[in-house]
Amino acid sequence: MLTGGSKFKQVRHFVVMVGAVMAIAGCATTAPQAGQQPKQVRTGVQPLDRLQVAIVPPERDLEAQVMAGDFAIAANDLKTASDAYGKAAWLSDDPTVASRAAELALAIHDQAAAGKALERWAALGAKPAELAEGRARMALDRGDTADAQHQLELLVASGDKDAWRAFGRTLVQARDAAQAGVLLERIATPQRLPNEATAWLAMAELGENLGRHDYAQRIGDEAQKRFHDGATYAWAAQKAFRAGDKAGAKALFAKAVQKDPKNPRLRLAYASVLAQGGDEKAAAAVVAVGPQDADTYNMRMTLAARSADKAALARLYAEMRRQSDDVQADNAFTLGQIAELLDKKEDALDWYAAVGDDDPHIFDASVRSAVILHLQGKDDDAHQIVADLQTTYADRPEALMKAFAVDAELYMDARRFDAAAAAYDKALRVKPDDTDMLYGRGLAYAEANQVDQAVADFRKVLELKPGDIEASNALGFTLADNDRDLAEAQTLLQAARSARPDDPSVADSWGWLKFRQGQLDQAESTLRGAWAKQKDGDIGVHLAEVLWQRGEHDEARKVLNEVRRIDPKNASLLKTEQKLKP
């Protein structure tokens, strides 16, 4: 602890020991020796009756001040925390308390408190670099460029191993970016910078962030000439990539990896550039060579999955299974995903169950487990996992809402639309105006034939997000499908078509609207185009109904047979077949 807690314990221990000694002494003298008369017990004032306990006022109680400061920090009340630690700094001989007081005062821009805390810290042995950093921050806060420069020069000249990191941190925290940029260029010169590539690149990046692009370019170019290492080539590659020079970035990343082939960060960056250029095979080869970590394994899985390369996935799975138990435990989520992609569902469940509670993927692992169980027909188990998530994350609104949404999606897939709408209701109680949840509930209502509720939800989405394409399409289709407000439906769907002219789902809605308006030629041509782009069951059913209406019964049956092959459980298919029976 930073307080005098250990001293307090020693005092208590001393009092207990005194009491014990007195008790022992009392026992030793109570029995009189032979021939002696028992002593009379005195009935006057006893020694303990005269004992007075001093009460320390809170403002002079170190432990109370530190505790008050910590509570205030937890409550994000930095002003109260600064006041408490400011008092504690003068009660304590611990420099850590003084440094905390200085940091809090600087954070709330309290010049007077910061000055006193730095004075106390200096008296307790703060390093020159630490004091220079604090005083530079004070100078920047009051806009004193000259003093800030003086203190920053003292900082970088101190010889402290973290001096340049502290220099950069100070400028990043400055309230005036222009002032910080001026000081960066004045102080972080090639003559002053240490003979370390990381320091040069950090200053170049800081220059970019402060809008000093010419300075950043000069420092970065000079670093590349001086050091010729992987980090400097990678920095140049990133700059080229941001400038749109993908070929140049690719060449520079290749040099970076050649200089430092064991660096996984460089290999990942190079592989990303290759993958974005469409050369996923080369990207996979780059990331597969050399030491592996969670990120390289994940990228290899992603590249193989994107290419639908099951052989590569199987090789990666086997490779990871040969690693130590610790490596497998650290990568349990990735192993579960690979097992899923290889259709090893039971393996996937085992891996997801092995994901630790402190793993950042624990929520997603539970979701994936629920999805697998749902696909296996074990809906009760799937929903129990989601219910457990809702309990676990009850105090974390975003995760809780996502858990309700997962429940809703499982119900939607099972065509239990009323239950799905109820799950979306719960999500919307967490965040009433979340447009994704409103949209999802609107879809559930539409499928449950609760048209008014669906229309209301879609309109609410458009009120919150004017022009939203998905909501415009959904509302336009719902109105057309129920043969109501067709003029509004046309306005909505025209806007959606203008925004996404090649989207088959939007074309399907437009074609169905034309069918409702009796424009069969346009309906057929639009739906044929959508069906050619995407063999979706609903699009096929709509096309078949238009063809049937036009008397092309054989063609309609052909389309329905294809829908039955690709989507045998499609609800629209069953309804349409009943309707079109001769």
pTM beyond 0.85: the answer is no
Extract the tokens encoding 478. 């719902």
CA-to-CA separations, 287 to 58, 335, 337, 339, in angstroms, rounded: 60, 17, 19, 20
Closest CA to 560 of 38, 550, 250, 578: 578
Residues whose CB falls within 8 Å of the CB of residue 197, separated by 6 or more in sequence, listed in order: 223, 226, 227, 229, 231, 232
- Quick: pLDDT tens for 123-160: 999 999 999 999 999 999 999 999 999 999 999 999 99
Helix axes 95-107, 111-123, angle to 10 degrees: 160
- Quick: pLDDT tens for 437-456: 999 999 999 999 999 999 99
Under CATH, which number does the domain 229-291 receive? 1.25.40.10
Distance CA(269)–CA(287), nearest Å, equals 9
Question: Which helix (DSSP H) or strand (DSSP E) does residue 473 occupy?
Answer: helix 469-481
Query: Above 60 in pLDDT, residue 515?
Result: yes
Q: Which residue has the tokens 């949209």?
A: 439
What pLDDT shows up at residue 58?
59
Give Cα 399 to chain centroid, integer Å.
Answer: 11
For residues 297 and 13, the model is more confident at 297
Mean pLDDT of the region 98-109 = 95
Closest CA to 368 of 378, 382, 354: 382
Residues whose CB falls within 8 Å of the CB of residue 380, separated by 6 or more in sequence, listed in order: none
- Quick: pLDDT tens for 39-95: 444 444 444 444 444 445 656 688 889 999 999 999 999 999 999 999 999 999 999
Give Cα 131 to chain centroid, integer Å.
Answer: 35
For residues 572 and 120, the model is more confident at 120
Angle at 533 between CA 527 and CA 534, to 5 degrees: 85
- Quick: pLDDT tens for 267-294: 999 999 999 888 999 999 999 999 999 9
Most distant CA pair in the chain, distance: 135
Residues whose CB falls within 8 Å of the CB of residue 37, separated by 6 or more in sequence, listed in order: none
| Burial environment of residue 1 by CB neighbours within 10 A (0 to 12, 13 to 18, 19 or more) | exposed
DSSP helix/strand/coil, 194: coil
